[in-house]
């Protein structure tokens, strides 16, 4: 599971992806990573996320994480994003197999904002946003 930056890195949307189809399945521990400018909390809420992370090649999440379930890691990611960016949008995209996440996303306040066909697979995807 990773946190990527949306689009051209200028809109401030953080995209959580790589969720397992089974939220209670275990995910491996993560070592801490060196923080770059996009992992630092800006003093004024500026868009310094654009620096040091061209086209989402680096993961926004830099902290250490233990072996835990995908659900717990998701919670850790949401808290991390809110801690490092005081406002914005978090995005999650699910396909029809990811239905187990729908009630979990609702608990956090995510809302379905769009649905359509995935041009890569032909399956239906739904995009969820949490505006905070």
pLDDT the model gives residue 48: 42
Tell me the per-residue pLDDT of 76-118, one tens digit each, with 9 for 90 and over: 999 999 988 888 899 999 998 889 999 999 999 999 999 999 9
pLDDT the model gives residue 69: 98
pLDDT at residue 29 tops 60? yes
SS (HEC) of 42-95: CCCCCCHHHCCCHHHCCCCCCCCECCEEHHHHHHHHHHHHHHHCCCCEEEEEEE
Tell me the per-residue pLDDT of 33-71, one tens digit each, with 9 for 90 and over: 776 555 454 433 444 444 444 444 457 788 899 999 999
Confidence of residue 5 (pLDDT cuts 50, 70, 90): confident
Confidence of residue 32 (pLDDT cuts 50, 70, 90): confident
Confidence of residue 10 (pLDDT cuts 50, 70, 90): low
The larger pLDDT score, comparing residue 2 to residue 69, is at 69
pLDDT the model gives residue 19: 94
């Amino acid at each position: 599971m990773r946190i990527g930056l949306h689009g051209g890195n200028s809109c401030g949307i953080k995209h959580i992806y790589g969720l397992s189809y089974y939220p209670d399945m275990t995910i491996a521990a993560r070592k801490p990573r060196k923080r770059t400018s996009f992992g630092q909390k800006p003093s004024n809420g500026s868009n310094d996320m654009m620096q040091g992370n061209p086209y989402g090649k680096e993961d926004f999440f830099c902290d250490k994480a233990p072996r835990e379930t995908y659900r717990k890691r998701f919670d850790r990611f949401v808290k991390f994003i809110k801690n490092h960016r005081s406002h914005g949008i978090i995005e999650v995209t699910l396909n029809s197999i990811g239905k187990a996440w729908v009630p979990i996303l609702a608990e956090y306040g995510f809302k379905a904002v769009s649905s359509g066909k995935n041009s890569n697979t032909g399956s239906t995807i739904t995009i969820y946003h949490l505006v905070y």
